[in-house]
Amino acid sequence: MSKIIQFTDVTLRDGEQTPGVSFSVREKTTIASMLEKLGVNCIEAGFASSSAGDMEAIDRIARQSRSNTTVCSLARCKVEDIDAAAKALTNASKPKIHIIIGCSDIHLKYKFGFTPEQLLSRIKVMIRYAADTGMQIQFSAEDATRADREFLRSVYLTALDSGANIINITDTVGYSLPDEFESLVRSARGWVGDDVLLSVHCHNDLGLATANSLAGIKGGADMVECTLNAMGERAGNASLEEVAVALRVRADLMDFRDTIKAKHIYPVCKAVATYSGLSVGHNKPIVGDNCFTHQSGIHQNSVLKNPSTYELFNPNLIGRVSNELMLSRLSGRHGFEERLKELGYELSRDELDDAFARFMQLAEFRKTVSDKEISALAQSYTSKVTHHTYTLKNYQSISGSNAITTATVNIGMAGGDVLKAAAGDGPVDAVFRAIEEATGISFKMVSLDVKAVDEGKDSLCEVRLIMEKDGRRFIGRGINTDMIAASAFAYMNALNRAVLVLNSFKEDDNEED
Ligand code: KIV
Ligand code: ZN
């Protein structure tokens, strides 16, 4: 019987470290439900001590998760972090605390100023402390691939002696080459023995994260840590969709099994792209728009005769279905609700009422409504920032070839509604300026993208924007058939995220004591 490889998804933790990305609690719980449907074994739900938002998201994910899914929080080798992780995971059926500390010479010297002995003693004390919680303990020696091999061995053995159950081998800065990484994992297997669960965590700085993860599996790893759409610090992490599909396409050379239900890959990657505000590159393996598009006439002819001439796998494998279901006004409320569930969205009763009314309006106008539009509608509720500080109650904008463009907005906030007007360079700019006037908060606009959710002149319109304040970036998203309204909602979405994050942001994210 072939060995089962476990998947830990770190999209909600390392993925959220992608510059500019900040998921709301609701987005995290929605993504976590989708990850469970996808069949991941473990969800790293966040870094409990980093913010109140992470603490809340981990707690909610722990409460909602099925009994066979492990839910994990990251923690530095510090009492406060371990306490926060244990608290956030109290209600998880299978809780795991993931403890990290840098172990390469570079980290020892520049990050901590520790001697190797001091580091070992810190690991011993903190892992013992964490193991006392009775929770599963995963230990990561950060920057393992640049650490001294003999020292790394002592670090892993110390962690295991002190109570760790899982050793995670990290290529923190994406430095390793596949042969080298396979050999490191093989050595680690020799050090720790056959009974310890070995995991790998690879970054993509040299474009080798997927190759290194597969090499790690060949070297004896039992688990891979990945993100969806390869999100993550700097150049990102190993992509779950790439590793899972490679294991299927090259099963001839890699005889492994896993619990991933591949048909959910495409929908969940799309949802994560929307929630993160980061579109997937057209040529991104597996999920990019161009993966099954053939430009050359020779290729097109051959693919018509047999797709396997230029396609490694059938797109249906990952749920990229071309003949997607279309709903119409005759589908009724039941059909609409069922489709939402199949697409992975859970809305409250009030949201469902509202979403169904919007769906009927759209269906009246468009005759049929696609899955892309239904997802976009659903995401406009799940992306909402729950702690609404500011609400756009209504707006009006006037523009024309001979008119001064102006906008008026009515913004609800603590202390009452505020009505403000502003002139601008076009209707979108005028609305943004009026919101700025009303709230007294200004941002630098970094980017603004407008796209139609589906084909047709009457498609819903999606606006994604990135705004900057105090050196931090915030993504906002808005959906409407009216482009100005979609822009205004996107602005409000980013504004509310910013207020939430800037208020809860903790200054203290230094690594050592
Ligand atoms: O890249 C890394 O080393 C990490 C650790 C926290 C596992 O993300
Ligand atoms: Zn990482």
What's the rounded Cα separation, in Å, for the pair 84 and 391?
32
Of all atoms in ligand 1, which is nearest to the CA of residue 140? 7
CATH number of domain containing 217: 3.20.20.70
Does ligand 1 come within 6 angstroms of the Cβ of 44?
no
Report yes or no on 261 lying in a domain.
yes
Residue 297, Cβ density class (10 Å: 0-12 exposed, 13-18 middle, ≥19 buried): exposed
CB 263 within 8 A of CB 317: yes
Question: What is the SS3 assignment for 332?
Answer: helix
Assess whether 28 and 129 both reside in one domain: yes
Residue nearest to atom 6 of ligand 1 (CA): 100
Does ligand 1 come within 6 angstroms of the Cβ of 225?
no
pLDDT given for residue 45 in this prediction: 98
Does ligand 1 come within 6 angstroms of the Cβ of 50?
no
CA atoms within 13 A on the CB side of 19: 7
What's the rounded Cα separation, in Å, for the pair 506 and 320?
41
Treating both helix axes as pointing N-terminal to C-terminal, what angle do 178-192 and 209-219 enclose, rounded to 10 degrees? 40
Of all atoms in ligand 1, which is nearest to the CA of residue 13? 8
Report yes or no on 289 lying in a domain.
no
Residue nearest to atom 2 of ligand 1 (CA): 172
Mutate to test the pocket of ligand 1, among 140, 176, 203 (most ligand atoms within 8 A of CB): 140
Residue nearest to atom 5 of ligand 1 (CA): 142
- The bound ligand whose nearest atom lies closest to the alpha carbon of 200 is 1
Report yes or no on 287 lying in a domain.
no
Separation of CA 92 and ligand 1 centre (Å) = 22
CA dist list (Å): 99 to 25, 88, 122: 23, 15, 12
Taking residues 500-511, what's their average pLDDT? 56
Taking residues 32-52, what's their average pLDDT? 96
Question: What is the SS3 assignment for 509?
Answer: coil
Contacts of 116 (CB under 8 A, 6+ apart): 108, 151, 154
pLDDT given for residue 507 in this prediction: 40
Does ligand 1 come within 6 angstroms of the Cβ of 73?
no
What's the rounded Cα separation, in Å, for the pair 497 and 385?
6
Q: Grade residue 513 by pLDDT with cuts at 50, 70 and 90.
A: very low
Residues within 5 A (CB) of ion ligand 2: 14
Q: What is the Cα Rg of the chain in Å? A: 24
What's the rounded Cα separation, in Å, for the pair 349 and 47?
31
Does ligand 1 come within 6 angstroms of the Cβ of 170?
yes
CA dist list (Å): 97 to 130, 139, 415: 8, 8, 42
* Residue 64, token pair as written in the block: 């909602």
Assess whether 129 and 162 both reside in one domain: yes
Question: What is the SS3 assignment for 4?
Answer: strand
Does ligand 1 come within 6 angstroms of the Cβ of 100?
yes
Report yes or no on 284 lying in a domain.
no
**497: amino acid identity, one letter:** R
Report yes or no on 285 lying in a domain.
no
Any idea which residue has 């840590």 for tokens? 225
What's the rounded Cα separation, in Å, for the pair 123 and 3?
31
Lowest mean pLDDT among 72-86, 166-180, 445-459, 492-506: 492-506
Query: From the DSSP assignment, how many helices (H) and strands (E) are in the chain?
Result: 16, 18
Q: What is the pLDDT of residues 82-139, one digit of tens each?
A: 999 999 999 999 999 999 999 999 999 888 888 999 999 999 999 999 999 999 999 9
Q: What percent of the chain has pLDDT over 70?
A: 96
Treating both helix axes as pointing N-terminal to C-terminal, what angle do 79-88 and 116-131 enclose, rounded to 10 degrees? 30
Q: Grade residue 512 by pLDDT with cuts at 50, 70 and 90.
A: very low
CATH number of domain containing 486: 3.30.160.270
Assess whether 147 and 46 both reside in one domain: yes
Assess whether 271 and 406 both reside in one domain: no
pLDDT given for residue 505 in this prediction: 54
* Residue bearing the bigger pLDDT, 87 or 320: 87
Report yes or no on 28 lying in a domain.
yes
pLDDT given for residue 506 in this prediction: 42
Mean pLDDT of the chain: 92
What's the rounded Cα separation, in Å, for the pair 337 and 181?
47
Question: What is the SS3 assignment for 208?
Answer: coil
Q: Which domain holds residue 417?
A: 391-504
Among 230, 130, 141, 217, which residue's Cα sits nearest to residue 181? 217
Contacts of 147 (CB under 8 A, 6+ apart): 103, 104, 105, 141, 155
Separation of CA 99 and ligand 2 centre (Å) = 13
What's the rounded Cα separation, in Å, for the pair 336 and 359?
8
In the chain, the number of structural domains is 4
| pLDDT of 473 higher than 70 | yes
Assess whether 183 and 151 both reside in one domain: yes
Does ligand 1 come within 6 angstroms of the Cβ of 201?
yes
Assess whether 300 and 248 both reside in one domain: no
What's the rounded Cα separation, in Å, for the pair 330 and 348?
23
CA dist list (Å): 105 to 3, 76, 168, 465: 35, 18, 18, 41
Mutate to test the pocket of ligand 1, among 9, 47, 74, 237 (most ligand atoms within 8 A of CB): 74
Assess whether 243 and 331 both reside in one domain: no
Assess whether 85 and 234 both reside in one domain: yes
Q: What percent of the chain has pLDDT over 90?
A: 70
Separation of CA 85 and ligand 2 centre (Å) = 18
CA dist list (Å): 21 to 13, 27, 47, 232, 467: 11, 12, 15, 10, 11
What's the rounded Cα separation, in Å, for the pair 262 and 241?
8
Q: CA triplet 75, 79, 81: central angle to 5 degrees?
A: 30
3-state secondary structure 346-400: CCCHHHHHHHHHHHHHHHHHHCEECHHHHHHHHHHHHCCCCCCCEEEEEEEEECC
Separation of CA 204 and ligand 1 centre (Å) = 12
Does ligand 1 come within 6 angstroms of the Cβ of 466?
no
Enter the pTM of the model.
0.83
Taking residues 306-314, what's their average pLDDT? 94
Assess whether 357 and 237 both reside in one domain: no
| pLDDT of 459 higher than 90 | no
Assess whether 203 and 233 both reside in one domain: yes
Residue 57, Cβ density class (10 Å: 0-12 exposed, 13-18 middle, ≥19 buried): buried
pLDDT given for residue 381 in this prediction: 85
The dihedral through the CA atoms of 243, 245, 248, 253 has a sign that is negative
Does ligand 1 come within 6 angstroms of the Cβ of 54?
no
Assess whether 82 and 24 both reside in one domain: yes
Residue nearest to atom 8 of ligand 1 (CA): 14
Report yes or no on 482 lying in a domain.
yes
Mutate to test the pocket of ligand 1, among 77, 96, 201 (most ligand atoms within 8 A of CB): 201
Report yes or no on 192 lying in a domain.
yes
CA dist list (Å): 47 to 19, 29, 89, 97: 16, 15, 11, 10
CA dist list (Å): 172 to 43, 86, 205: 19, 25, 9
Does ligand 1 come within 6 angstroms of the Cβ of 227?
no
Dump the DSSP string for 7-59. Answer: EEE-TTTTGGGSTT----HHHHHHHHHHHHHHT-SEEEEE-GGG-HHHHHHHH
Does ligand 1 come within 6 angstroms of the Cβ of 358?
no
Assess whether 367 and 463 both reside in one domain: no
Residue nearest to atom 1 of ligand 1 (CA): 172
Separation of CA 203 and ligand 2 centre (Å) = 6
* Residue 478, token pair as written in the block: 């808005």
Q: CA triplet 30, 365, 459: central angle to 5 degrees?
A: 55
Does ligand 1 come within 6 angstroms of the Cβ of 146?
no
Does ligand 1 come within 6 angstroms of the Cβ of 6?
no
pLDDT given for residue 362 in this prediction: 86
Q: Grade residue 24 by pLDDT with cuts at 50, 70 and 90.
A: confident
